[in-house]
Amino acid sequence: MVNALAVEARGLTVVRGRREVLHDLSLGVPAGSVVGLLGPSGSGKTTLMRSVAGSQRIRSGTLRVLGLTAGSRSLRARVGYATQAGSVYDDLTVEQNLRYFARVLGAPAGDPSRVLAEVDLEDHANRMVGRLSGGQRSRVSLGVALLGTPELLVLDEPTVGLDPVLRADLWSLFRRLADRGVTLLVSSHVMDEARRCDRILILREGALLADETPEGLLALTGTEDAEDAFLALAGGKVA
């Protein structure tokens, strides 16, 4: 990697509707690492992820993704994005969804079957997405993000509604991807997952509250687990 940072924001300000959601945000996501984005709902996590994925208009500041301005044309096949809502077609089968997005992304023909195995949906390939459980549906969405060879994955709450076994499986997949040099920016509500990240970014009300390693976060807050650390930060006990 030429650039040490896969994502770099400087003075990023984003306005949605009449509300300023991100205020003068500066942060960096090191290339080849798994970075967790944590924060209460409404803190701006999704807006930050949309900005990185290139679908959010930016009011001011700069946002560089893989060395280019976020939303650049040449980034479209290099950044994989899974939205919170899922953003897959309920009236298609799992396989048809993957095949369509694979064609759109110019991914190799064998990619849908590779991805089916990675998100553990091989047994459901021919089922309609609309008939799947919430957790299965979000895995289809994750599968779409894994198509092609994205260098950066932006995953908005990919493990919501999954049982602990599946969640652990996905986090080990994330780790394998990072070992291959892929950068992952993963948002989560589950503070437990923070421990599996290389770095943790904590957002609150559109501002960066912390940018730490998991160990650093615990040391900083004098707490023993991520949940307490977050409560300590959110409560303003640490300046």
Partner 1 sequence: MNPRLTAATTRRVLEQIRHDPRTVGLLLVVPSLLIGLMAWIFNDGRLFSAVGPDLLGLFPFIIMFLITSITTLRERRSGTLERLMTTPLGRFDFIVGYAIAFGLLAVVQSLIAVGFAVWVCGLSVQGNAWLLVLVAVANALLGTTLGLFASAFAATEFQVVQFMPLLVFPQALLGGIFVPRDRMPDVLRAISDWLPLTHAIEAFQHAAGTTDSGSVLREVAVVLAWAVAFTALGSVTLRRRTA
Closer to partner 1 by Cβ: residue 81 or 174: 81
Which residues sit at the interface with partner 1, rule CB under 8 A? 15-17, 53-57, 71, 76-77, 79, 81, 83, 85-92, 96, 100-101, 103-106, 128, 144
Q: How many CB atoms lie within 10 A of CB 60?
A: 10
Closest approach of partner 1 to the CB of residue 68, in Å? 14
DSSP 174-235: HHHHHHTT-EEEEEES-GGGGGGSSEEEEEETTEEEEEE-HHHHHHHHT-SSHHHHHHHHHT
In the numeric block, the tokens 């040449």 are attached to 74
Sequence-distant (6+) residues with CB within 8 A of 83 are 46, 141, 156
Closest approach of partner 1 to the CB of residue 48, in Å? 14
Closest approach of partner 1 to the CB of residue 75, in Å? 9
Closer to partner 1 by Cβ: residue 89 or 169: 89
Closest approach of partner 1 to the CB of residue 162, in Å? 19
Q: How far apart are CA 90 and CA 217, in angstroms?
A: 40
In the numeric block, the tokens 């300000």 are attached to 13
Entry field: residues in the chain: 239
Q: State the DSSP code for 77.
A: T
Closer to partner 1 by Cβ: residue 39 or 86: 86
Closer to partner 1 by Cβ: residue 67 or 216: 67
Closer to partner 1 by Cβ: residue 156 or 212: 156
- The dihedral through the CA atoms of 59, 64, 69, 71 has a sign that is negative
Closest approach of partner 1 to the CB of residue 215, in Å? 34
Closest approach of partner 1 to the CB of residue 73, in Å? 8
Q: How far apart are CA 218 and CA 155, in angstroms?
A: 24
Closer to partner 1 by Cβ: residue 76 or 175: 76
